[in-house]
């Protein structure tokens, strides 16, 4: 069974949206498992503090290496040995569909959710933590990013999505953004469904969808288009 262990100072945020829709049903059906570990449980003072002022001065607070390490070690004790430990960080490598697919095919993940100004660099080095970013922006903490990563993985698990074919034609599956989708009514506010989609000619439909996917990718994500052309 695929497992996700989340290290956070806000364990009450989980499962959150992961308890709903596809992920929630799969969780209830035992197709994957989720554990949220409270990092404050590893604090050593009566105030359950997990952070301290940054060395060298500066604004904010930094999560302590000793406390973060204790939480990581506890998380690893309940996970398969090959499960990677990931720190959700805006300076990490961008999360891609190919990396999500790799994680989904593994045994699970350990996710460290940062807060404040981040985590002491030494624990990231000492515990071989992979840093991953879900976008070029900054969140208040890693919890929402962790939920996004988990959801992206869970929907790829066997029998979770229901229709495996839909996973092969969506954005990023082939390196392209997805083509436009339409459904009834045929005419809505003067806008009609493209005739080719109503033709019943599957070869023409497939060609149109490919052309549209290429057009949208060129316009909206030229970086993806260039990467695809270099393959």
Q: What is the pLDDT of residues 171-209, one digit of tens each?
A: 677 889 999 999 999 999 999 999 999 999 999 999 999
pLDDT at 5 over 90: yes
- Say how far apart CA 101 and CA 153 lie, in whole Å: 7
Task: For residues 91 and 199, state if they share a domain.
Answer: no
Residue 159 inside a domain? The answer is: no
Task: For residues 189 and 222, state if they share a domain.
Answer: yes
Contact by Cβ (8 Å): 148, 86: no
- Say how far apart CA 225 and CA 230 lie, in whole Å: 9
Task: For residues 121 and 207, state if they share a domain.
Answer: no
HSE of 108, CA atoms in CB hemisphere, 13 A: 19
Q: 19-26: list long-range contacts, CB under 8 Å, 24+ apart.
A: 22/154, 22/155, 22/160, 22/161, 22/162, 23/150, 23/151, 23/154, 23/155, 23/160, 26/154, 26/157, 26/160
Task: For residues 148 and 223, state if they share a domain.
Answer: no
- pLDDT of amino acid 142: 97
Q: Which residues of 132-153 are buried (b: 16+ CB within 10 A; e: fewer)?
A: bbbeeeebebbbbbbbbbbebb
- Say how far apart CA 85 and CA 142 lie, in whole Å: 14
Give the CATH number, domain containing residue 176. Answer: 1.10.1270.20
Q: What percent of the chain has pLDDT over 90?
A: 90
Name the nearest CA neighbour of 39 among 48, 30, 31. 48
Residue 150 inside a domain? The answer is: yes
pLDDT at 163 over 80: no
- pLDDT of amino acid 171: 66
Q: What is the mean pLDDT of the chain?
A: 95
Torsion of CA 158, 162, 165, 168, to 10 degrees: -60
pLDDT at 165 over 60: no
Task: For residues 14 and 104, state if they share a domain.
Answer: yes
Task: For residues 142 and 216, state if they share a domain.
Answer: no
Question: Which parts of the chain fold into alpha helices (H)?
Answer: 21-28, 65-77, 97-104, 121-126, 143-154, 164-168, 202-220, 222-229
Contact by Cβ (8 Å): 160, 22: yes
Q: What is the pLDDT of residues 93-129, one digit of tens each?
A: 999 999 999 999 999 999 999 988 999 999 999 999 9
Task: For residues 93 and 196, state if they share a domain.
Answer: no
User: Is the peptide bond preceding residue 176 cis, with omega within 30 degrees of 0?
Assistant: no
Give the CATH number, domain containing residue 29. Answer: 3.40.1280.10
Question: Which two structure tokens, joined as six digits, stand for 128?
Answer: 């071989």
pLDDT at 169 over 70: no
Q: Which residue has the higher pLDDT, 116 or 157?
A: 157
Task: For residues 135 and 52, state if they share a domain.
Answer: yes
Task: For residues 212 and 143, state if they share a domain.
Answer: no
Q: What is the mean pLDDT of residues 70-90?
A: 97
Task: For residues 143 and 225, state if they share a domain.
Answer: no
Confidence at 151, pLDDT banded by 50, 70, 90: very high
- Say how far apart CA 168 and CA 190 lie, in whole Å: 32
Facing residues of 132 across strands?
93
Residue 162 inside a domain? The answer is: no
- pLDDT of amino acid 172: 77
- Whole domain around residue 88: which residue ranges? 2-154
- pLDDT of amino acid 168: 61
């Amino acid at each position: 069974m695929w497992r996700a262990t989340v290290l956070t100072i806000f364990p009450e945020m989980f499962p959150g949206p992961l308890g709903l829709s596809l992920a929630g049903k799969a969780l209830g059906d035992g197709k994957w498992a989720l554990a949220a570990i409270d990092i404050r449980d590893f604090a050593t003072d009566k105030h359950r503090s997990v952070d301290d002022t940054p060395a060298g001065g500066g604004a904010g607070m930094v999560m302590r290496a000793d406390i973060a390490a204790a939480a990581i070690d506890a998380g690893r004790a309940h996970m398969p040995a090959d499960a990677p430990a990931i720190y959700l960080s805006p300076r990490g490598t961008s999360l891609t569909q190919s990396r999500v697919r790799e994680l989904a095919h593994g045994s699970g993940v350990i996710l460290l959710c940062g807060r404040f100004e981040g985590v002491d660099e030494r624990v990231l080095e000492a515990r071989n933590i992979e840093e991953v970013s879900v976008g070029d922006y900054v969140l208040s903490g890693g919890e929402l990013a962790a939920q996004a990563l988990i959801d992206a993985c869970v929907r790829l698990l066997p029998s979770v999505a229901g229709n495996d074919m839909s996973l092969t034609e969506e954005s990023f599956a082939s390196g392209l953004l997805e083509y436009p989708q339409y459904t009834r009514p045929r005419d809505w506010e003067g806008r009609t469904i493209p005739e080719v989609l109503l033709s019943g000619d599957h070869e023409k439909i497939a060609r149109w969808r490919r052309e549209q996917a290429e057009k949208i990718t060129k316009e909206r994500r030229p970086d993806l288009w260039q990467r695809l052309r270099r393959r």
